[in-house]
Amino acid sequence: MKRPLLLTGTASGVIACAFVLLNSLPGCRPSGTTKSVVTGDAASKVYVKPGTHDEFYNLVSGGFSGQLAVYGLPSGRLLREVPVFSVDPESGYGYSEESKGMLTTSHGFIPWDDSHHPELSQTDGIPDGKWCFINGNNTPRIALVDLGTFRTGSIIEIPNSAGNHSSPFTTGNSEYVVAGTRFSVPMGDDASRDVPIKTYKENFKGNVSFIHPEPETGKMSIAFQIVTPGVNFDLSHAGKGPSEGWFFFSCYNTEQAYSLLEVNASQRDKDFIMAVNWKLAEQLAKDGKGKRVPGKHHSNWWNERTHSSETTVYEDVLQLDPKDHPGLLYFMPCPKSPHGCDVDPTGKYIVGSGKLAALIPVFSFEKMQKAIAANDVEGDFAGIPVLKYESVLHGEVKKPGLGPLHTEFDANGNAYTSFFVSSEIVKWNVEKLEVVDRVPTYYSIGHLCVPGGDSKKPWGKYVIAYNKITKDRYLPTGPELTQSAQLYSIDGDKMELLLDFPTTGEPHYAQAIPAELVKPREVKFFKIEENEHPFAAKGEKETKIERRGKEVHVWMTTIRSHFAPDNIEGVKLGDEVYFHITNLEQDWDVPHGFAIKGAANAELLLMPGETQTLKWVPTRVGVTPMYCTDFCSALHQEMQGYVRVSPANSNVPLTALTVSVDAEM
Amino acid sequence: MRLLKTSLAKVTLVAGFAAITACGDGTASTPPGASGPPGAAAASEEAAPAGLITAAEITLGEIDQAMVEKGKATYDVKCQACHSTGPNRVVGPGWKGVTERRKPEWIMNMMLNIDVMLETDPEAQKGLEECLVRMPNQGLSKDQGREVLEFMRTL
Ligand SMILES: [Cu+2]
């Protein structure tokens, strides 16, 4: 837990008190002294026999790694790290000529991000195993990972946004995923104006974007944005069942502070949950009630036929101003600095989690509708009606713990809330608002996950804690320890710790889904007949080499256990060489690698039937070896070749050689 | 390789490589005969493991030129990288004369059911011992396999 060291004036006194208070509370961790409480035969409950599969996929954000990690549950085994927002030299993602476009934005090529919230696509409010969305906080983007290939299929940039945190939560049929801006910023026509930061109240606006993924292709576009008062949006969830058609966003900094937010944005007793009537917004957008404002952004899409990215650049975006459209937005007061904003499986209740609150408020959708009908408001905030807290409240869970953060649900009417400050998971009954169980976590849990726990149909069985601090749980590795998740059984009356497992990056947020919903979708290889890459060589017969000015293009193939061609001559210093490599294999799990000495970018890892291009600029005269990096067969070490680089003024003819065994010798 | 042919003659293969070109059934080491190689029995009707193509499923008539051409096209994309149409091994055996050495159903099963063959068929296993590279499953349909077989008959 980082605390400020530099404070001025009266603010320091306020913070100092809070600091003492939080750290002197009983149960406040990490203390490093709490012993593991694994009891009984936990090991057998997480043991997955060799040759058998895990029951669930667990899709976990990589946080500052910018990636999405895939674990099996209950074993906690890492199955894959999917490159999303960050380049990946292992596969060439973001380095190959075809994939660079996935990471282009209106700011240029941005090869990293801070990815926070995976969200599974849904059908009828239930995860369907088709896609997993994930956000990039830094240069606001949303990505779609195709669960048929576990690859990034689409990335869209969000204009008029900064710190794309409250995203990408989905509607019940993934009509939309949303993106709320964490920072309010000058936007639209004001975006490029040079304004003083102290004019925050006047010039800074918030907004929430509704992004539509095309059901067939997964191509994403922004359907509309809704402009909001300048606050910070944190998390979000769509309504379901009776609350279908609404979206809820937690927001903080209703003080509209722009400096020392930890003090200045914690002044008010209550911030808000913003309720959005998205069905109405959709209708207004369709009826042409919005306004197109400047907002340049890229939408990148991975074409699995051409094995290449395609980019559409949009110059503007459709915005709806709630001032013109009463009934579009409402605020519900929520104590205090709310983070989580979670809708229970019935869709009747919305749970706010105030990071600085000592209770959990539960709102009733039905009461909210009645309050709207009766105009039961306590006033307005920058023109948006604020409904009366008591009128929309189902009730409060009193003294549940410290620092409530995020709530997920089981299928039996129970909620599980993570408590950052007191490092625990608290189970409580949604109707009765009574705490029924609690377990410690190690340490400073952020988010948690129940399989299907934010959908209409939780599968239950486990709750997984994603911890910010690891301290004494694993072998030390210098000052930095591995990040950590913990698996608990929720089958019985008492939650039971079964397993700690290390994670990559920061396991910020996660989703879990039964493996049976994903496994049948898996792509085993790309059909070579369907390969429409402009430089594909479908068979060794199509391999060739061609000079185009200073560019040398090589159509090359791989198969166990050779490249064709495997010798190239006539490349000159000053040339740019493009290796267009097609993997001719048509079987599951037979990638080939391609690496060349001195390559300044990366290697390639080519899946069966796929074509990718590595650009190589030779820097010296001589013979340069190239080889396969993926151990593909007993003759893998023989999978190699040479490129001869001649001086710029040489007249060595451009030649590609593969010497047939049937050739005359 | 468009530019291949002109540059071939000057290249010398290293001794080690030349020594293993006798691998598999691509050479004359397996005698052709009416009874076929012993391994072919594993693919015969009575002993065939589930899923294997049986002799009864394949009829060979006059060479069908249209099928040969389709087979050749498939060969170019999916087989040529490992099999020459001559006598010598590349990764797998050369195809020249293969239909005289192997029963049609054995060839078809090697193309379409390689995993079962490598598990159950002694001749397939012998080939693997010599080539040391598992024959890739190239995802051929049954029709494509049959067309490739027709192409083999012309070699
Ligand atoms: Cu290889």
Is A665 in the B-facing interface, judged by CB distances under 8 Å? yes
For residue A345, is pLDDT > 90?
A: yes
Hey, which residues does A213 pair with through a beta bridge?
A: A220
Give the confidence band of B48 by pLDDT, cuts at 50, 70, 90.
Answer: low
Is B91 in the A-facing interface, judged by CB distances under 8 Å? yes
On chain B, the residues whose CB falls within 8 A of the CB of A557 are: 81
- What is the share, in percent, of chain A residues with pLDDT greater than 90? 84
Report how far ligand 1's centroid is from the alpha carbon of A526 (Å).
17
Residues A550/A556, Cβ–Cβ less than 8 Å:
no
Is B81 in the A-facing interface, judged by CB distances under 8 Å? yes
The one-letter amino acid code at B14 reads: V
For residue B5, is pLDDT > 70?
A: no
Hey, which residues does A84 pair with through a beta bridge?
A: none
**How far lies A81's CA from each of A90, A151, A505, B138, in Å?**
11, 10, 10, 27
Picking from A558, A587, A652 by the largest number of B CB atoms within 10 A of its own CB, the best residue to mutate is: A587
Give the confidence band of B17 by pLDDT, cuts at 50, 70, 90.
Answer: very low
Give the confidence band of A344 by pLDDT, cuts at 50, 70, 90.
Answer: very high
Report how far ligand 1's centroid is from the alpha carbon of A581 (Å).
12
Are residues B4 and A657, on separate chains, in Cβ contact within 8 Å? Answer: yes
- Mean pLDDT of all residues in A641-661: 92
- Name every residue whose Cβ is closer than 8 Å to that of residue B76 and which is 6 or more positions away in sequence: A538, A539, A540, A541
User: What pLDDT digit, counting tens, does each position of A453-510 carry?
Assistant: 999 999 999 999 999 999 899 999 999 999 999 999 999 999 999 999 999 989 999 9
Is A663 in the B-facing interface, judged by CB distances under 8 Å? yes
Report how far ligand 1's centroid is from the alpha carbon of A456 (Å).
46
For residue A114, is pLDDT > 80?
A: yes
On chain B, the residues whose CB falls within 8 A of the CB of A562 are: 81, 90-91
Q: What is the rounded distance in angstroms from the CA atom of residue B123 to the CA atom of residue B129?
A: 10
- Mean pLDDT of all residues in B45-64: 82
The A residues from 552 to 571 touching B (CB cutoff 8 Å) are 557, 559-562, 564-565
- Structure tokens belonging to residue A293: 């404002």
Nearest to B78 among A528, A562, A663 (CB): A528
Burial B68-106 (b: 16+ CB within 10 A, else e): bebbbbbbebbbbbbbbbbbbbbbbbbbbbbbebbbbbb
Are residues B4 and A658, on separate chains, in Cβ contact within 8 Å? Answer: yes
Q: How far is B135 from chain A (nearest CA, A)?
A: 9
- Structure tokens belonging to residue A349: 């209740």
Nearest CA to A538 out of A552, A524, A553, A556 is that of A556
**pLDDT value at position A659?**
78
Left, alpha or beta for A276 (phi > 0: left; psi -120 to 50: alpha)?
Answer: beta
Report how far ligand 1's centroid is from the alpha carbon of A637 (Å).
8
Are residues B134 and A557, on separate chains, in Cβ contact within 8 Å? Answer: no
Report how far ligand 1's centroid is from the alpha carbon of A492 (Å).
49
DSSP A537-597: -SSGGG-EEEEETTEEEEEEEEETTEEES-EEEEEETT-EEEEEEEE---STT--EEEEET
**pLDDT value at position B133?**
86
Q: Please state which of the ranges A181-190, A384-393, A560-569, A604-613 shows the lowest mean pLDDT.
A: A181-190
**pLDDT value at position A538?**
95
Strand boundaries in A8-159, DSSP class E: 56-61, 68-73, 78-82, 104-105, 108-109, 119-123, 126-136, 141-146, 151-157
Whether the ω angle into residue A74 lies within 30 degrees of 0, i.e. cis, is yes
For residue B51, is pLDDT > 90?
A: no
Give the confidence band of A355 by pLDDT, cuts at 50, 70, 90.
Answer: confident
Q: Nearest 5°: CA angle at A56, between A458 and A522?
A: 115
- Name every residue whose Cβ is closer than 8 Å to that of residue A92 and which is 6 or more positions away in sequence: A99, A601, A602, A603, A604, A605, A612, A614
For residue B72, is pLDDT > 90?
A: yes
Burial A291-303 (b: 16+ CB within 10 A, else e): eebebebbbbbbe
On chain A, the residues whose CB falls within 8 A of the CB of B78 are: 528, 539, 584, 586
**pLDDT value at position A439?**
96
- Mean pLDDT of all residues in A544-570: 96
Is A659 in the B-facing interface, judged by CB distances under 8 Å? yes
Are residues B138 and A525, on separate chains, in Cβ contact within 8 Å? Answer: no
For residue B69, is pLDDT > 50?
A: yes
Is B88 in the A-facing interface, judged by CB distances under 8 Å? yes
B19 to chain A: nearest residue by CA? Answer: A661
For residue A544, is pLDDT > 90?
A: yes
**pLDDT value at position A35?**
53
Nearest CA to A84 out of A98, A60, A68 is that of A68
For residue A49, is pLDDT > 70?
A: yes
Is A661 in the B-facing interface, judged by CB distances under 8 Å? yes
For residue A154, is pLDDT > 60?
A: yes
- Mean pLDDT of all residues in A224-250: 96
**pLDDT value at position A190?**
81
CB atoms within 10 A of CB B140: 18
User: What pLDDT digit, counting tens, does each position of A434-458 carry?
Assistant: 999 999 999 999 999 999 999 999 9
Nearest to A659 among B8, B137, B139 (CB): B8
pTM flag (> 0.80)? yes
- Mean pLDDT of all residues in A7-24: 36
CB atoms within 10 A of CB A613: 23
**pLDDT value at position A231?**
93
For residue A370, is pLDDT > 80?
A: yes
The one-letter amino acid code at A341 reads: C
Q: What is the rounded distance in angstroms from the CA atom of residue A106 to the CA atom of residue A221?
A: 15
On chain B, the residues whose CB falls within 8 A of the CB of A525 are: 139
For residue A595, is pLDDT > 50?
A: yes
Nearest to B3 among A529, A584, A655 (CB): A655
Report how far ligand 1's centroid is from the alpha carbon of B81 (Å).
13
- Mean pLDDT of all residues in B34-39: 38
The whole-chain average pLDDT of chain A stands at 92
Give the confidence band of A261 by pLDDT, cuts at 50, 70, 90.
Answer: confident
**pLDDT value at position B42?**
42
- Name every residue whose Cβ is closer than 8 Å to that of residue A149 and which is 6 or more positions away in sequence: A304, A522, A523
For residue A350, is pLDDT > 50?
A: yes
- Structure tokens belonging to residue A326: 């009463």
- Name every residue whose Cβ is closer than 8 Å to that of residue B144 and which is 6 or more positions away in sequence: B70, B71, B74
Q: Is B74 helix (H, G, I), strand (E, B) or coil?
A: helix
On chain A, the residues whose CB falls within 8 A of the CB of B2 are: 544
Neighbours of ion ligand 1 (CB under 5 A): A 592, 628, 632, 639
Handedness of CA A647, A653, A657, A662 (dihedral sign): negative
Are residues A540 and B87, on separate chains, in Cβ contact within 8 Å? Answer: no
For residue A33, is pLDDT > 60?
A: no
On chain A, the residues whose CB falls within 8 A of the CB of B82 are: 559-560
B76 to chain A: nearest residue by CA? Answer: A539
Q: Nearest 5°: CA angle at A119, between A118 and A125?
A: 165
Nearest CA to A407 out of A477, A333, A357, A475 is that of A357
**pLDDT value at position A244?**
97
Tokens 């011992």 -> residue: B129
DSSP A40-80: SSHHHHH---TT---SEEEEEE-BTT--EEEEEETT--EEE
Give the confidence band of A633 by pLDDT, cuts at 50, 70, 90.
Answer: confident
> How many interface pairs between A and B have CB atoms less than 8 angstroms apart?
111
On chain A, the residues whose CB falls within 8 A of the CB of B16 are: none
The A residues from 482 to 541 touching B (CB cutoff 8 Å) are 525, 527-529, 538-541
Picking from B133, B134, B148 by the largest number of A CB atoms within 10 A of its own CB, the best residue to mutate is: B133
**pLDDT value at position A662?**
65
Are residues A634 and B133, on separate chains, in Cβ contact within 8 Å? Answer: yes
Give the confidence band of A335 by pLDDT, cuts at 50, 70, 90.
Answer: confident
Q: What is the rounded distance in angstroms from the CA atom of residue A194 to the CA atom of residue A178?
A: 29
B128 to chain A: nearest residue by CA? Answer: A634
Q: Please state which of the ranges A185-189, A417-421, B77-81 shows the lowest mean pLDDT.
A: A185-189
- Mean pLDDT of all residues in B57-66: 94
**How far lies A40's CA from each of A34, A63, A77, A532, A644, in Å?**
18, 34, 22, 56, 65
For residue A358, is pLDDT > 60?
A: yes
- What is the share, in percent, of chain A residues with pLDDT greater than 70? 94
Report how far ligand 1's centroid is from the alpha carbon of B76 (Å).
20
Hey, which residues does A342 pair with through a beta bridge?
A: A351
Q: How far is B144 from chain A (nearest CA, A)?
A: 12
**pLDDT value at position A14?**
37
- Mean pLDDT of all residues in A4-9: 34
